[in-house]
Structure 1
Amino acid sequence: MSVSVVILAAGAGTRMKSTLPKVLHKICGKEMLFYSIQEALKISDDIHIILFFEHKRIQDYVQNTFKNQLKHIHFHIQNHSKYPGTGGALIKDDLQNPIPTKYEQILILNGDMPLITKEQIEQLIVHKTLIAIGIFEISNPNGYGRVIIKDNQVKQIIEEKDANIDIKSIKTVNAGVYLFEKKVLQSYLPKVKNHNAQKEYYLTDLIQLAANDGIGITPVFVDRENFIGVNSKLELSIAQDLMLDRLRTRAMQQGVIIHLPHTVYLESDVIFEGECEIEQGVFINGETKIINSHIKAHSVIENSTIKNSKIGPMAHVRTNCYIDDTHIGNFVELKASELRGVKAGHLSYLGDCAIDKGSNVGAGVITCNYDGKTKHRTIIGKNVFIGSDSQLIAPIQIQSNVLIGSGTTVTKNAKEGDLVISRTKQENKTGGFYRFFKPNQSK
């Protein structure tokens, strides 16, 4: 489709009460602006991002995230102090010059609408009119611009701050997305004034100017959920809940069993393959892949691959782990580790290690990977039995078929077939209990 997309991302977002630019706040692991750009790229090869507040920070993020598609993305740093508002965002140098776009049709989106979808965008761009705007009806329209419709044409959009009591009672509101023919913008942007409560150049004023000249403006009813704008951290949480519903629904439609879905947190890049089961309270983030595996209750999986394995309950698989054909039990923590065919049932920390098939990790085992300056690796071969409460001081290598006795601190490499044990001799002192606790407890 021959349409240019303009994404408005210039606002300071003061209601977020944060030093982080509003559009860089995350929804399910991705910045809000990511979703707008991702969906825009599905319909256009000409994307224009309007920036002002913290523009370098946002531009750097986009360039790093969409590095393979930058030929389709253009940045415009606006003089917001001179031309504030959504209308001012569309100019190049002054009101006489709209930003240059490749196509005659221009779709206006917002960078703080993370729930937008390609399918909803297409509802607007199929209309072959000079102007089309997205609208929806809502029982509580507080905060939205009210849309005045007559004879199935939009006549006016009145912002909340400029609305009287009668106007505020209207339930039809502006979704904040517009489709313009370029010639309409070129004609009407110079006529937009900032005679309003905010002293801003409203894009919505352009609608009224065009309507007054008899130009037909098509209202397009859209799904409100897809066009929720985020202006506060409360609204951020509401949008994330809706995104989570999408992600969980998608996973279950792909065949994943999810217990108590509303308690499970997933991020956008999580992939499921094969027969997977996710119990309640599970948290999965990053570029995680779950393949034919069972993640038990209240476990955390971060940016790792889990294959043919059972994890948890209450296990923590930290970033950069690869786990295959393995059982990880409760209160086991892993980080940057590769386990293949391993059992680690409970209460262990396995960091920066590789453990091979058939090995068993007893309760309380620790791979001591950090010396205060540098992280070191622990390499463990096949069929190694590590007794409970043992510590392996990295860097260290344990070859296959090694038995490590419980309570051992391993400081040297072990070759195949070794029994490794380091304990002080146990002494039993007769009557020692009574001497320690003393009075009135002698036999």
Structure 2
Amino acid sequence: MSVAAIILAAGKGTRMRSKRAKVLHELGGEPMIARAIRAAAALEPEPIVIVVGHQAREVEAAVSFSRARFALQEPQRGTGDAARCGLGRIPMGFTGDVLIAYGDMPAITPATLRAFLEAHRKRGAKLSLISIILDDPAAYGRVIRDGGGKVEKIVEFRDASPAERAIKEINTGFYLVDAALLRSALAELKPGNAQGEYYLTDIVAIARARGESEKVEAWVATDPAEFAGINSREELANMEAEIRAAVNRKLMQSGVTLVDPACTYISEQAEIAPDCVIGPNVQIIGMCKLGEGVRIDGTAWLSNVTIGPRCHLKLGVRAEDCVIGEESEIGPFANLRAGTELAGHNRIGNFVETKKARLGRGTKASHLSYLGDATIGADTNVGCGVITVNYDGYDKHQTVIGDRCMVGCDTQLVAPVKVGSDVFVASGTTIVREVSDGSLVMSHHPQREKAGWMAAWRKRHGDSPDGSLRRSKDHQD
């Protein structure tokens, strides 16, 4: 039998106290809805429908799942109305089961949903829901069973009697429903409740009232933590901490040293080889890959970075969407922006910024330089204060520097420009034309002096010839 899925993600999330839709808030470096979609996708549903409402365009833009369809719920009139909107995007000829899940319940695992589907079909149910037992069921909807233990209905906490509120079995909100039953049950929903909304939970009582032909089952899950919803900033932070702790445990078990796991933030998508050492206050976000023996001293921010074996990232490195070849030394306080590619055995030192820069093997830029839109060959040394002048106010332009060059301090290369191999660039040079291989290039101006100029300058400002009056005033200030 085939499966379709509806993920409800239309709500605003009032308790988040945010202008952003709740499902757009991030967990583990990605919008929480991405985690819910990934779990549902494990059942290979076709189609998978995301019901959007508040900030619908932003939510759609955040969903990277290529097979997703979207249904707009406007206005938002409850979960039953949301499910009805989602069902409208599933072809009328579909005859399988429909999974209903939530975009703000990101802890659910694919394994749990697979087990739920297996139990649903094994029992021959037309409607199954996932329930859990809680010592303190709080304000969740209660699962009401008859004397024989069969599910009768779901009662929301606001509408429950004192006796019903004493029940500890609660509804998680996850359903598997035969498509034909879902269509007919949703058509019968009425807003007869304290909120004046269409409750999805009412489909349980509707199915049960039809007798054994519409068999209803509750599958009791064993791990309540998977069904924790995100309704506040505190709950978001708590789940983030749980995710981070689980990632860190797994990494340490695989042979990675985390100097201080409590302040190390690593995404679940990151791949980190054994014998890496990661210092405190490090964030490794997205699809990062760290080769064996990489050392990160601390206070680093890395996003979608590939780092070769035995590299050393010193304090304060920031890098995104770039490649760092093996045995390179980066930092302290270096900024490798998107498009940077280091071939290996490179040195990018303190206060160096790169952007779309490709550096050949062994090339170094040790301090205080900007290398943007540049291709630099192997074994070239870039001195202090070198700038590739890549922007003319409208467009970016390329700088090309060859192999084995010595680029002196305080050099500006005004792009587009090409410097050949084996070139020595004298300090303070401004390069505006192509430089041939093997050349010495310079653009020095003659040094000029005006004897006695400083005494006249001080006299003009009422200072003594040796500057003592100025120093005395500075000391008083």
**TM-score normalised to structure 1 length:** 0.81
Deviation of the 1:367 alpha carbon: 1.3
Change (3 A) 1:93 1:354: closer
RMSD (Å), alpha carbons: 3.7
Compare 208-217 and 103-112 and name the one that shifted more.
Answer: 208-217
Deviation of the 1:36 alpha carbon: 2.6
Q: Counterpart of 2:196?
A: 199
Q: Counterpart of 1:303?
A: 321
Compare 268-277 and 142-151 and name the one that shifted more.
Answer: 142-151
Q: Counterpart of 1:40?
A: 40
8 A contact 1:114–1:239 mirrored in 2: no
Deviation of the 1:405 alpha carbon: 2.4
1:120 alignment partner, one of 106, 112, 119: 112
Q: Counterpart of 2:288?
A: 270
8 A contact 1:91–1:99 mirrored in 2: no
Cα distance in 1 for residues equivalent to 2:109 and 2:128: 17
Q: Counterpart of 2:276?
A: none
Cα distance in 1 for residues equivalent to 2:137 and 2:296: 38
Are 1:323 and 2:342 an aligned pair?
yes
Change (3 A) 1:226 1:364: farther
Are 1:368 and 2:389 an aligned pair?
yes
Compare 314-323 and 33-42 and name the one that shifted more.
Answer: 33-42
Aligned-partner SS, 1:36: helix
Change (3 A) 1:295 1:133: farther
8 A contact 1:9–1:49 mirrored in 2: no
Give the letter for the 1:124 counterpart. F
Cα distance in 1 for residues equivalent to 2:138 and 2:435: 70
Give the letter for the 1:371 counterpart. D
Deviation of the 1:353 alpha carbon: 0.8
8 A contact 2:398–2:416 mirrored in 1: yes
Cα distance in 1 for residues equivalent to 2:451 and 2:425: 31
Q: Counterpart of 1:87?
A: 80
8 A contact 2:131–2:218 mirrored in 1: no
Aligned-partner SS, 2:5: strand
Cα distance in 1 for residues equivalent to 2:225 and 2:307: 29
Cα distance in 2 for residues equivalent to 1:193 and 1:389: 76
8 A contact 1:120–1:222 mirrored in 2: no
2:305 alignment partner, one of 285, 288, 291: 288
Deviation of the 1:376 alpha carbon: 0.9
Structure with higher RCO (Cα < 8 A, 6+ apart): 1
Alignment of 1:29-428 (within 5 A): 29-53=29-53, 54-55=55-56, 58-59=59-60, 62=63, 65-67=64-66, 70=67, 73-78=68-73, 80=75, 84-91=77-84, 100=92, 102=94, 104-127=96-119, 128-129=122-123, 130=125, 131-136=127-132, 144-147=140-143, 157-162=154-159, 173-182=170-179, 184-186=181-183, 188-210=185-207, 217-248=217-248, 255-261=255-261, 262=264, 263-285=281-303, 287-292=304-309, 293-308=311-326, 309-325=328-344, 326-341=346-361, 342-427=363-448
Percent identity reads: 35
Task: For residues 105-151 of structure 1, give each alpha carbon's deviation from its aligned partner in whole angstroms, at most 9, with x where no partner exists.
Answer: 32211123334331232232221342443345667765644556788
Aligned-partner SS, 1:338: strand
Change (3 A) 1:114 1:431: farther
Compare 213-222 and 346-355 and name the one that shifted more.
Answer: 213-222
Cα distance in 2 for residues equivalent to 1:52 and 1:39: 18
Cα distance in 2 for residues equivalent to 1:193 and 1:47: 27
Deviation of the 1:152 alpha carbon: 6.9
Deviation of the 1:348 alpha carbon: 1.8
Cα distance in 2 for residues equivalent to 1:221 and 1:426: 83
Give the letter for the 1:134 counterpart. I
Task: For residues 229-257 of structure 1, give each alpha carbon's deviation from its aligned partner in whole angstroms, at most 9, with x where no partner exists.
Answer: 33455544444444444555555566554
8 A contact 1:349–1:366 mirrored in 2: yes
Aligned residues: 433
Task: For residues 154-206 of structure 1, give each alpha carbon's deviation from its aligned partner in whole angstroms, at most 9, with x where no partner exists.
Answer: 55544354457776677654433223344553564344332222211112233
8 A contact 1:247–1:268 mirrored in 2: no
Structure index of larger Rg: 2
Cα distance in 2 for residues equivalent to 1:85 and 1:353: 55
Give the letter for the 2:353 counterpart. E
Deviation of the 1:302 alpha carbon: 1.1
Aligned-partner SS, 1:91: helix
Cα distance in 2 for residues equivalent to 1:373 and 1:102: 54
Cα distance in 1 for residues equivalent to 2:171 and 2:86: 27
8 A contact 2:51–2:86 mirrored in 1: no
Cα distance in 2 for residues equivalent to 1:429 and 1:164: 97
Aligned-partner SS, 2:174: strand
Deviation of the 1:60 alpha carbon: 5.8
Task: For residues 262-303 of structure 1, give each alpha carbon's deviation from its aligned partner in whole angstroms, at most 9, with x where no partner exists.
Answer: 233233332334443334332222x43233233333322211
8 A contact 1:87–1:201 mirrored in 2: yes
